[in-house]
Amino acid sequence: MYNKTLTAALAIAVLGVSNIALADKPGTDWITLEQAVEKAKAAGYTTLHAIEADDDAWEGEGMKADGKVWEFKLDGRTGEVLRDEED
């Protein structure tokens, strides 16, 4: 458990994510936090300000290349983008 938590913290630090908070506990069949961060980056987020487990999804906020802050919601199991809107 300790190594997994440390690995997640290091991955977040390397990827430039700040203010990570877990509101709910991710499901056992969910993609990992690291995979969720990668999915958000693939959706165009250059910097993530927050990401958390909420109900059945990863939800977060970050900045895109346009310099604006956006909110996103990713399916907890697949990482599919469910919401992507300007904040």
Range of the domain at 27: 2-86
b/e per residue 73-85 (b: at least 16 CB within 10 A)? bbbbeebeeeeee
CATH number of the domain at 71, please.
3.10.450.40
Instruction: Please report the pLDDT score of residue 57 as a whole number.
Output: 97
Instruction: Please report the pLDDT score of residue 6 as a whole number.
Output: 42
Instruction: Please report the pLDDT score of residue 19 as a whole number.
Output: 54
Number of structural domains (the chain) is 1
pLDDT band at 8; cut points 50, 70, 90? low
Of the candidates 38, 63, 59, 36, the residue with the CA atom closest to the CA atom of residue 49: 63
Question: What predicted TM-score, i.e. pTM, was given to this entire model?
Answer: 0.73
Instruction: Please report the pLDDT score of residue 5 as a whole number.
Output: 46
User: For 64, what's the count of Cα atoms within 13 Å in the CB-facing half-sphere?
Assistant: 15
- Taking only the tens place, the pLDDT of each residue in 16-69 is 555 555 468 999 999 999 999 999 999 999 999 999 999 999 999 999 999 999
